[in-house]
Amino acid sequence: MGAQCYQYRQHGLPVDVDYNPSAANDVTGISQSADYRAVALLRLNVSGSAASQSTAQSLLPYFAGYTFTTLPASAPFGNLGRNAFRTPGLWQWDPGVDKNFSIREGIRLQFRSEFFNVLNHTNFGVPNNVSTSGAFGTITTTYPPRQIQFALKAIF
């Protein structure tokens, strides 16, 4: 019988907070209608510091405690650095077991079971990072819950 176990513990991924500039603030030269280079996004001015919150409280106002300011057309670049924030971390435990059965000479049967996120720990997604969005700072997604798969393989 074989067994293996993988534990993933990862700090959050970096995330930018930005805004879609109006035509007056857009200094990127990217056409908002149909440009292959994507959408024009600029960084904001930020002040304040993170509010002390429990995990449950931090899901809706993820950037609580910070004040973001959209800039005027005369100075469209903010003081917020690239990747200044981190998403919630990821933690899961993925064990797997297998058992080989000898049927007769040269023929084996292998049963295998794999468990992904076996403890069913909730891992939250990325917060909405566009300050002009009505859902700014909210986390509305999660990574997949517990998943179990079984396999049976004949080896000859």
* Angle at 119 (CA atoms; ends 91, 50), nearest 5 degrees: 35
Q: What DSSP character marks residue 72?
A: P
Q: What DSSP character marks residue 83?
A: T
Average pLDDT for the chain: 81
Q: Which of 31, 27, 39 is nearest to 130 (CA)?
A: 39
- Alpha carbon 150 to its chain centroid, in Å, reads 28
Whole-number Å distance between alpha carbons of 65 and 52: 8
pLDDT at position 68, please? 84
In this predicted structure, the answer to whether residue 145 has a pLDDT above a threshold of 80 is: yes
Amino acid 57 reads Q
Task: Report residue 36's pLDDT band, with 50, 70 and 90 as the boundaries.
Answer: low
More confident residue, 27 or 125: 125
31: alpha, beta or left, given left = phi > 0 and alpha = psi -120 to 50? beta
Whole-number Å distance between alpha carbons of 98 and 155: 14
pLDDT at position 140, please? 87
Mind listing the pLDDT tens digit for each residue in 91-121? 889 999 999 999 998 899 999 999 999 999 8
Does the reported pTM lie above 0.75? no
